[in-house]
Structure 1
Amino acid sequence: MDLQMIMEYLKGLKENNNREWYQEHKTEYEAAASEFLKLVETLMIGLGKMEPGILLHEPKKLTYKLVRDTRFSKDKSPYNPAFRVHLSEGGKQPVPVGYYLMITPGASFLGGGLFADIFKEETAMMRDYIATHGDEWEGIVEGGTFKDLFEAKGSSLKNVPAGYDREHPQAAYLKYKSWYVEYPLADGLLADAGRFVDNILEICKVIKPFNDFINRALADSKFMNQP
């Protein structure tokens, strides 16, 4: 598994983000994409020991295309120079939440949690669950190893929304519209594929209780039982 090949291709695409360069380097793209799929397959096998449902999915269907939708963007660059995958028992859909890996020059990261804040029903479910399971939530986000690696993030309202106690111990999190964590991955980490995979799997173990809490909160989500 040559992760350096992935990074070298993406660096070239980032510096030459146009259709001509992309077409001229299609062979390099295919080689890099093949290496990324090997990485995805390896991570799925490792994560499958914790979450067997991940193994039910076809690796390629969990990845994202490089082509950007530029219709509503001022940035008309045709490609996103990043290889991305969402590893979850639900596949690529946002719920159940899983592990999101993005490899891109200078900004790679591993994330977990609920990134999308456009689903009002799921946002309400999460707030309700935090409100009634505040101690459990605090135990996760303030836990030693978790807190050493992460700070729970998310887009947020200015005030606690109506219907929730403004004095709740977790009032700050009740303002959130999304709840997620990110772990930055330096480019140099990809030099040793074996160590990179081991590192990712260890970080996922730390993220898992956070994800599990969110998935319990969203147990009644319409996304949960979708094929």
Structure 2
Amino acid sequence: MKQDTMMGFLAQLQANNSLDWMHEHKKEQQAAAAGFEALVQALAGELALHDAGVAGLKARDLIFRLNRDTRFSSDKSPYKAAFRAHIGPAGRMPIPVGYYLHLEPGNVFLGGGLYAAMFPGATARIREELAENGAEFLQIVQEPFFKKNFELVGEKLKKVPQGFDPALPQSEYLKYKSWALEYHLPDEAVADRDAFLRQAADAFLRMRPFNDYLNRALEGYKLPERPGKG
């Protein structure tokens, strides 16, 4: 499937987000999903050449569903009009951190780091690492390509949390509850599959020192079990 056809399906879904429309366009959905799965598998394979932590992953274990959980949302649209995947050591799980691919018309980006402010134990571990090894973190985020291209996003406190020295050079980063990166691209970047794969793999690998830093802080951390499990 051509990449522009894949994005074209998502654009149509944005404009026609309903169960009936999806049922009527099931073949197009299946073709677009297969194209995205092939893209994720190729990207995972390229990354595995340089990052053994993501070797041997299967794309089907990395991709998020289009279906939305609307039970607690005022937006009752049944689908998220985006193809999304997390290429990480634990597949879709946010920890250990990995590489996040988000294809959505008008919002194409590559992500890294931790998108998980809801896990205070993980936040605490990273803050401790920052307090102890802030110089290394600053060197990573101040690298020229990183500083120019990657945006650090996530929930953030107004003040340095209690127990940490606000005079530390890295104090601004201690305010974060979640340390996530985004590298935005125009929709047109997706059209050429080979060029997009090269660009995505290069950007992701430039994120790797950031990911490695967070994963070192999170080593041994266990995500809380969902209610009713165990």
Please list the CA deviations of residues 48-81 of structure 1 after superposition, one character each: whole Å capped at 9, or x if unmatched: 0122232333211110111111111111111101
Contact residue 62 and residue 92 of structure 1 kept, 8 A: yes
Residue 168 of structure 2 corresponds to which residue in structure 1?
A: 168
Residue 59 of structure 2 corresponds to which residue in structure 1?
A: 59
Q: Which runs of 5+ in 2 are unaligned?
A: 224-230
Residue 11 of structure 2 corresponds to which residue in structure 1?
A: 11
Residue 71 of structure 1 corresponds to which residue in structure 2?
A: 71
Secondary structure of the residue aligned to 1:217 is: helix
TM-score (ref. length: structure 1): 0.95
Give the aligned residue type for 2:42: T
Alignment RMSD: 1.1
Contact residue 141 and residue 152 of structure 1 kept, 8 A: no
Residue 192 of structure 1 corresponds to which residue in structure 2?
A: 192
Q: Distance in 1 between matches of 2:149 and 2:200?
A: 13
Structure 1 range deviating more: 159-168 or 60-69? 159-168
Q: Distance in 1 between matches of 2:173 and 2:185?
A: 26
Q: Distance in 2 between matches of 1:59 and 1:134?
A: 35
Residue 50 of structure 1 corresponds to which residue in structure 2?
A: 50
- How far is the alpha carbon of 1:4 from its aligned partner? 1.2
Give the aligned residue type for 2:95: V
Q: Distance in 2 between matches of 1:38 and 1:160?
A: 44
Q: Distance in 2 between matches of 1:37 and 1:53?
A: 20
Secondary structure of the residue aligned to 1:152 is: strand
Q: Distance in 1 between matches of 2:143 and 2:153?
A: 16
Q: 5 Å matches for 1:14-163?
A: 14-163=14-163
- How far is the alpha carbon of 1:127 from its aligned partner? 0.2
Q: Distance in 2 between matches of 1:55 and 1:78?
A: 33
- How far is the alpha carbon of 1:10 from its aligned partner? 0.5
Residue 205 of structure 1 corresponds to which residue in structure 2?
A: 205
Q: Distance in 2 between matches of 1:54 and 1:169?
A: 33
Q: Which runs of 5+ in 1 are unaligned?
A: none
Secondary structure of the residue aligned to 2:113 is: strand
- How far is the alpha carbon of 1:89 from its aligned partner? 1.4
Please list the CA deviations of residues 66-119 of structure 1 after superposition, one character each: whole Å capped at 9, or x if unmatched: 111111111111110111000011211111100110101111110000011011
Contact residue 51 and residue 89 of structure 1 kept, 8 A: no
Give the aligned residue type for 1:90: A
Q: Distance in 2 between matches of 1:194 and 1:212?
A: 27
Contact residue 151 and residue 183 of structure 2 kept, 8 A: no
Secondary structure of the residue aligned to 1:188 is: helix
Q: Distance in 2 between matches of 1:208 and 1:44?
A: 14
Q: Distance in 2 between matches of 1:157 and 1:143?
A: 25
Contact residue 62 and residue 87 of structure 1 kept, 8 A: yes
The share of aligned pairs that are identical, in percent, is 44
Secondary structure of the residue aligned to 2:201 is: helix
Contact residue 52 and residue 89 of structure 1 kept, 8 A: no
TM-score (ref. length: structure 2): 0.94
Please list the CA deviations of residues 19-38 of structure 1 after superposition, one character each: whole Å capped at 9, or x if unmatched: 11000000000000011011
Q: Distance in 2 between matches of 1:144 and 1:11?
A: 34
